[in-house]
């Protein structure tokens, strides 16, 4: 790394207009430059305000940031995310370097800072991720790294793959990122709506809301979120059940609002017992007017086999058309081995656009240090 590159802790300003916000804004811009460079699209643009709200101190996770500065430019960033109320063995570590400044050791220097923070916080498992768009010509045969799950692979020649492997991370799982072009798939979606069994004759009813869950459903919805955290295929990723309750749901709603986002949620309620059987969530930021993100979709095991997964998604999509008319594309992320969810998405017209590598490293503390012992 050049002598004029420095790694500096990035303090998180109180607002984007605060006198000390310049470095945070430069790092936020860098994140978007790298995202565009990696994915070839601005669909995943993250407004600086959204990045700020996520980084601010809060009860469920702590975010630590550092920048690499060359002269007066921010050329790299490291982010360490530490869950605080569950999964306290984990640290999510993300290193990003401007495309014009790679292969000079900046990534390695940022990683050393991030790893030291995570170890000092007593974390013993590091997770990370990298994105790999689908290319027209595919990756050359024999130059692919398969996930430990056996489903999905990523190109061995990608810089992030070489970097993660150099640091000893394992490719535990690959997620497929798919996109649905709403105008292009209108006929297919209309046909799916028409083929739906009328909900009036179903043992389930669908309820939808914008942003804030109605108070009578709060605890039941929190229970779905808790289940969702481990209901998806996780491969070898050591993610444990998240500690969701009503207060955490309200916190998430507040964070989304403060970051400029909106969500649409549809749940299925079993009429005779009143139990919530499943949910689905769409998220949208006006800064990316043409884009929405399909987040969670869950149907509890005892309520599967009734077509609820598709019904939930179609109902939320219908709401999206009314509430967010500018949206043209929906992106979603699923484990490459999640056959049931992928087949629903394919039926709706989602097609693969990229793959996300899920990396993991189990940290072995030095012999003279107990696991979790603080070093700082
Ligand atoms: C991955 C990334 C952070 C690497 O940053 P960098 O500053 O170029 O990394 P470094 O120069 O410190 O490289 C450290 C080592 O990683 C490996 N490496 C990094 N890029 C590589 C590449 N393009 N080809 C082969 N090996 C590579 C090498 O072993 C390198 O050591 P060497 O240069 O002595 O051979 C950068 O490419 C990036 O920002 N990618 C997009 C963001 C991302 O996906 N981050 C998640 C990573 S898990």
Q: pTM of the prediction?
A: 0.93
Domain 183-327 adopts which CATH fold?
A: Aminopeptidase (3.40.630)
What's the CA-to-centroid distance between 101 and ligand 1, angstroms?
10
Asked whether 106 lines ligand 1 (CB < 6 A), one says yes
Is pLDDT of 373 > 50?
no
pLDDT tens by residue, 127-168: 999 999 887 666 666 689 999 998 889 999 999 999 999 999
Fold classification of 5-176+358-362 (topology level): Aminopeptidase (3.40.630)
Among protein residues, the one whose CA lies closest to atom 46 of ligand 1 = 130
Question: For tokens 């207009």, what's the residue?
Answer: 17
Instruction: Indicate whether residue 95 lines ligand 1 (CB < 6 A).
Output: yes
For residue 318, the SS3 value is helix
Provide the pairing of β-strand 125-133 with 90-97.
Answer: parallel
Instruction: Quick: pLDDT tens for 214-245.
Output: 999 999 999 999 999 999 999 999 999 999 99
Provide the pLDDT for residue 138: 66
Going by CA atoms, what residue is nearest to atom 19 of ligand 1? Answer: 163
pLDDT classification of 317: cutoffs 50, 70, 90: very high
- From the list 131, 278, 285, the residue with the least C-alpha distance to 204 is 278
Measured from the CA of 169, which atom of ligand 1 is nearest?
48
Closest CA to 48 of 236, 242, 259, 232: 259
Q: What is the mean pLDDT of the chain?
A: 94
Looking at ligand 1, which residue's alpha carbon is closest to its atom 29? 166
Q: Is the pLDDT of residue 102 over 80?
A: yes
Render pLDDT for 48-86 as a digit per residue (tens, 0 to 9). 999 999 999 999 999 999 999 999 999 999 999 999 999
Q: How far is the CA of 340 from the centre of ligand 1 (A)?
A: 35
Q: Is the CB of 107 under 6 A from ligand 1?
A: yes
Nearest ligand 1 atom to alpha carbon 160: 1
CA count, 13 A, side-chain hemisphere, 237 = 27
Q: Is the CB of 163 under 6 A from ligand 1?
A: yes
Residue 376: predicted pLDDT: 41
Mutate-to-test residue for ligand 1 from 67, 98, 107, 133, highest number of ligand atoms within 8 A of CB: 107
Q: Bridge partners of 94? A: 79
Question: Which atom of ligand 1 sits closest to the CA of residue 38?
Answer: 41
Share of the chain above pLDDT 90, in %: 89
363 CB under 6 A from ligand 1? no
Domains of the chain: which residue ranges? 5-176+358-362, 183-327
Neighbours of 146 (CB within 10 A): 12
3-state secondary structure of 89: coil
Q: Fold match between 5-176+358-362 and 183-327?
A: yes
């Amino acid at each position: 790394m050049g002598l004029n590159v420095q790694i500096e802790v990035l303090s998180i300003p109180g607002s984007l207009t605060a006198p000390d916000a310049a470095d945070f804004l430069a790092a936020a811009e860098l994140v978007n430059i790298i995202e565009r460079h990696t994915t070839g699209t601005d669909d995943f643009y993250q407004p600086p305000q959204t990045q700020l709200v996520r980084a601010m101190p809060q009860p469920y996770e702590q975010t630590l940031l550092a920048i690499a500065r060359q002269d007066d430019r921010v050329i790299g960033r490291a982010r360490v995310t530490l869950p605080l109320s569950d999964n306290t063995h984990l640290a999510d570590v993300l290193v990003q370097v401007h495309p014009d400044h790679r292969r000079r050791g900046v990534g390695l220097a940022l990683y050393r800072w991030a790893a030291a923070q995570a170890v000092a916080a007593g974390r013993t498992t590091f997770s990370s991720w990298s994105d790999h768009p689908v290319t027209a010509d595919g990756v050359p045969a024999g130059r692919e790294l398969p996930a430990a799950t056996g489903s999905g692979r990523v190109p061995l020649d990608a810089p992030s793959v070489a970097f993660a492997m150099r640091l000893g991370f394992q490719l535990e799982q690959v997620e497929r990122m798919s996109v649905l072009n709403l105008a292009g798939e209108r006929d297919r979606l209309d046909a799916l709506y028409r083929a739906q069994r009328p909900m009036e004759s179903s043992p389930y009813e669908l309820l939808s809301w914008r942003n804030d869950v109605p108070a009578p459903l709060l605890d039941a919805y929190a229970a779905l979120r808790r289940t969702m955290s481990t209901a998806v295929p996780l491969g070898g990723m050591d993610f444990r059940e998240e500690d969701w309750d009503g207060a955490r749901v309200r916190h998430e709603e507040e964070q989304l609002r403060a970051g400029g986002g909106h969500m649409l949620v549809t749940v299925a309620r079993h009429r005779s017992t009143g139990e919530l059987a499943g949910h689905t969530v769409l998220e949208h930021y006006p800064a990316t007017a043409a884009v929405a993100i399909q987040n969670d979709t869950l149907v509890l095991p005892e309520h599967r086999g009734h077509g609820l997964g598709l019904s939930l998604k179609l109902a939320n999509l219908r709401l999206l058309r009314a509430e967010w008319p500018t949206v043209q594309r929906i992106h979603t992320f699923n484990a490459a081995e999640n056959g049931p969810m992928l087949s629903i998405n394919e039926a709706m017209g989602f097609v693969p656009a990229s793959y996300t590598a899920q990396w993991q490293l189990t940290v072995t503390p030095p012999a003279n240090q107990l696991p979790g012992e603080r070093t700082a």
